[in-house]
Chain A
Amino acid sequence: MNAAIIGQMAVSGALMGLVYALIAYGFQLTFATSKSINFGQGELVMISAFFSLTLTNLGFPYWAMVPGGLLFGALMGLVVERGGVRLALEQKSEGWILLSIIIGLFFFSAAENIWGRDDRPFPTPISADPIHILGVDITRLELSVAVGVFAIMGLIELFKRRTLLGKAFEAVSADRDAAELMGISSTRTVMLSYGLSGSVAALAGILVSPITTVGPTMASALILKAFSVAVVAGLDSGFGVVLVGMFLGVLESLASFYLGSGWREAPGLILLILALALRPNGVFGKATIRKV
């Protein structure tokens, strides 16, 4: 067992981990404004990837396909918000968990029937030839994942900090009632967060598809790990998801090497249950004070 192989696996694991982190970041966006997350987020990743593939097949160039895909993701995010989340939030119930699962199931079935059950390659202009860096092979494709993840997270964080709409977003996250009293519509802000979250899911799909192929089940493993990352880091941990995501990526690529590829999912799940037992608010999360 030499260090080069371990290094290689650590790097590709960490890059995959960034994708988990990106999806987990999408959970954080909606959790911040509404304390809810979309349990069908994996289906959003998948269905947006399929839509982007169709755009590519229709002859759209890469630079036009990406915004198209993001827009579609945002639209689907809004569908989830309107159909599954808003009513439950108004009733202060947890019905959104079940409803978002249901909408995801619908998306899944629709994708299965519209695009077929088979996995398909996702063409991309970015080259998959490896480059040597410090004895480790990395492809431009893998690097594009890292660039894309940091770019969109950076942009959204800038948006939240620098624009008025972004400040409204932060205000609703901090205190929904107070923000309402200041004339900020929390319903619209929750819509905004679901739109953004949908776009983030779409980008995750576009970035990961060239590596993993596109198929109805492409996101089912991905999403479980994104859940783990979000909960282990804490649903309000900000950039904590990046660290936890990369850590989990490395861990599971080592686990699949030593234990066999079937156990790939295990570390994330065990990590999740452990984290829940030891730090229910996440490693980077804030403890909340109960009030009566």
Chain B
Amino acid sequence: MKRILLLRGAELIVFALLATIPLLVVNPYALGLLTLLAIYGILLIGLDVTVGYLGQVNLAHVAFLGLGAYTAGLVVTKLGMGMVPALLAATLVGLVLGGLLALPALRLEGPQFALATLSFAALSTTALNELEALTGGAQGLSLSRPPILGHALTPPLFYWLCMVLLAVVWMLMRNLLASQWGRAFEALRDSPIATDAMGVGTYKHKVLAFALGSSLGGLAGGLYAFNFQYLQPQSFTYDLMIILLLGVVLGGRKSLWGAFVGATVIVLLPNLLSNRLLFQIFSGLGFAGALAAGVRGLVKKNTRPFQALAPVVGMGLLVVGGLFVENTEDWRKAIFALMLFSVVVGLPEGIMGFLALFLAKLFRVPHAPLPEPADLDTMLPIRTADGSALLVLDDLKRYFGGVKAVDGLSMTVRAGTIHGLIGPNGSGKSTVVNVISGLYTPTAGTMQLRGVALPIGSLYSVAQAGVARTFQNLQLFGELTALENVLVALKGVYRNPLPMVLLGLARREESTAQAQALALLELIGLREQALVKAKDLTYGAQRFLEIARALARKPDLLILDEPAAGLAHPDVLQQIEFIQRIHQRGITIILIEHHMDVVSELCDTVTVLDGGRIIAEGTPDEVKRHPKVVEAYLGQPPQPELPGGAEPLPA
């Protein structure tokens, strides 16, 4: 509670101060800067969604600013409509075009995504320049600020409008990012595969996040148009994009406050560059900061030498350059470059990331208390196992080029059993799991879950159909806590639609969800570590957490891909116990495992694969004695001596 009060209090104070400024100060220049601050604030909050939460380098945001600005301008000048429809149209254009760009672009990762957004930005500049009949081309577009409800918008009124919009955007985004949606955004940055496999549509969330961010770009563009009342295509180019990235990175990613700080920096930059003394003071401060942090990092040996020294060199160049260069304005791009370089290398979490750590140490605010765990029997009722066929695979094949990884597999998994899938390395176990769970499309064959065809080739659809899986190579959401990892996957609690979430009317669900997630963590003995980041858990705990997360899907079928791999012996025993507990709830399990003791202990039926084909099936004991299994694991048995020492006949 104290934490919430502190955060909300800080927000209230800042916005109240910002709102009263026009009453106290009548300096039109300062008011202009503050208006710009509000506009850039909205813009950067939008950019932070893709750059911070999705973790993608988005170079198209400036295009949405431009497209929004022109949309608002055209709605006013060509259609003669008022400011409200103009701003709505600008937001809508950002939303729709953002969605359209995201549809193809977000199937890509990393550099290709950055390139696609860069091309979109270049294309939109071309269009604004060339559609002269509409936009006036390079001549630009002039517009005036239409009155709202009959009131002419004086500069202070317009400023208040921008601030109110910033506050609204701030609240909506805060609600969104603190919700299940925001968690999903972060999860898919850490592991898109796991996000899909947990039934959270990666692609859907990415497109939505990008479209939302872009719509804020459009809204900021609309305000930009009414602020400057004159638009030119060359205002919205790559140069401005780099400044915007500077704002987000310098301010601090994944933080509304970071966007606000970044916007402040961007607004003040031109003044900083035009005043020599101010520039020297700030570059000197930057240099001192980089030096102190660098030396500290080197002494404590927790930073790499490059990371400690590069910012010092960068800021040092800025200081030395400031002494020699006649006109800092000429070198503004180099100055941006050096600042950005130093921040990206030396302060990757940005100013707010750094401050947040610092403040957390200063105030030591405890996390809000967690609810009591929910009753496991109500959230995950024990199912009666009737032994009917749950999953039926028929003549399943998956070839990679000439390699027949799975070659005609037919297998039936009965409800309520633990079905082991074993085989030597390269026998096709993992491929089978990947085909069932939808990561791979089968080359041939059918799969049925309770008599209904299982969706193929889509992790997401298979997860929706009631199959959950864990991963041999852990795919946890490392930056999220153990609790959050489970919450992301949790099924059947979050029902409120997006608008309710945005308005903050969906909070009650959150405590129900937390209670359920805690119950699952308790089941696998991690309740005490609920608030530890997944990447900071021990290896064994991470393996257990994978299972809790999969269980949050409340699945009909749970696939455990080598859950004991790499575990120390005590952890293996622990793991066996956890799997038994899950089995007692009537959940059907497919267990891929190398540890024979685990298999013998747990499995009702075991299928043995070799070379993509079944070589044996039966109870663990039957399978262990099967000659083909022995051969597959231990090699060809020695030929028995023929009686009488006779030579074998030549073939």
**Residue B304 at the chain A interface, CB threshold 8 Å:** yes
Chain A residues with Cβ under 8 A from B400's Cβ? 289
Cβ–Cβ contact A276 & B105, under 8 A: yes
Task: List B contacts of A31 (CB < 8 A).
Answer: 111
Complex interface residues of chain B between 81 and 130 (CB less than 8 A to chain A): 101, 103-105, 107-108, 110-112, 114-116, 118-120, 122-123, 126, 129-130
Chain A, 59-91, CB within 8 A of any chain B CB: 83, 86-87, 90
Asked if residues B108 and A97 are in contact (CB atoms below 8 Å), the reply is no
Once A94-B57, A105-B242, A273-B104 are accepted as A-B contacts, the answer to whether A36 and B439 lie under 8 Å apart by CB is no
- Cβ of A265 and Cβ of B344 under 8 Å apart? no
Return chain B residues, CB-CB under 8 Å to A268: 119
Residue of B nearest to A271 (CB): B119
A87 closest partner in B (C-beta): B306
Distance in angstroms from A34 CB to nearest chain B CB is 11
* Size of interface on B: residues with Cβ below 8 Å to A: 53
How long is the Cα–Cα vector from A113 to B337 in the complex, in angstroms?
Answer: 14
Binds B, one of A8-16, A164-172, A223-231: A223-231
Closest Cβ neighbor of A270 among chain B residues: B123
Interchain CB contact under 8 A, B114 and A39: yes
Separation in Å of the B473 CB from the closest CB of chain A?
Answer: 6
A290 at the interface (CB under 8 A from B): yes
B307 at the interface (CB under 8 A from A): yes
Report the stretch among B64-72, B326-334, B408-416, B505-513 that lies at the interface.
B326-334
Q: Are A109 and B334 in contact, CB atoms less than 8 angstroms apart?
A: yes
Determine the residue in chain B with the shortest Cβ distance to A82.
B306
A94 B344 Cβ-Cβ under 8 A: no
| Most A Cβ at <10 Å: residue of B120, B337, B430 | B337
Interface: B341 (CB within 8 A): yes
The yes or no answer to B158 lying at the interface (CB within 8 A) is no
The answer to whether A272 and B341 have CB atoms under 8 Å apart is: no
| B603 in the interface (beta carbon within 8 A) | no
- Are A292 and B193 also in contact (CB < 8 A) when A263-B126, A276-B105 are? yes
Interface of B is mostly: helix
| Chain A min CB distance to B64 (Å) | 16
B112's closest neighbor in chain A, by CB? A231
B171 within 8 A of A: no
Question: With A112-B330, A262-B126, A263-B130 given, is the CB distance from A105 to B304 under 8 Å?
Answer: no
Measured CA separation A266–B122 after assembly (Å): 9
What total count of A-B pairs have CB within 8 Å? 129
- Report if A7 contacts B (CB, 8 A): no
Q: Which residue of A lies closest to B333 (CB)?
A: A109
Rounded to whole Å, the gap between the CB of B108 and the closest CB of chain A is 6
Tell whether A95 is near chain B: CB-to-CB under 8 Å.
yes
**Using Cβ atoms and an 8 Å threshold, which residues of chain B touch A136?**
none
What is the minimal beta-carbon distance from A108 to any residue of chain B, in angstroms? 6
User: Using Cβ atoms and an 8 Å threshold, which residues of chain B touch A276?
Assistant: 104-105, 107-108, 112, 116
Contact A87 B193 (CB under 8 A): no
Q: Judge whether B333 and A272 touch: CB under 8 Å.
A: no
Q: Please state if A272 and B471 are interface contacts (CB–CB under 8 Å).
A: no
Asked if A290 contacts B116 (CB within 8 A), the reply is no
A-B contact pairs, 12 of them (CB 8 A): A105-B340, A106-B333, A108-B333, A113-B334, A262-B129, A265-B126, A269-B122, A272-B115, A273-B101, A273-B104, A276-B108, A280-B108
5 extra A-B contacts, CB within 8 A, seeds A106-B338, A263-B126, A276-B105: A95-B348, A112-B330, A266-B126, A272-B119, A292-B434
Ranked 5 nearest A-B pairs via Cβ: A277-B104, A109-B334, A109-B333, A106-B337, A105-B337
Binding site for A on B (CB under 8 A): 55, 57, 101, 103-105, 107-108, 110-112, 114-116, 118-120, 122-123, 126, 129-130, 193, 238, 242, 245, 249, 304, 306-307, 310, 330-338, 340-341, 344-345, 348, 400, 430, 434, 439, 471-473, 475
A positions within 8 Å CB-CB of B:
31, 36-37, 39, 83, 86-87, 90, 94-95, 97-99, 101-103, 105-106, 108-110, 112-113, 220, 224, 227-228, 231, 235, 260, 262-263, 265-266, 268-270, 272-273, 276-277, 280, 289-290, 292
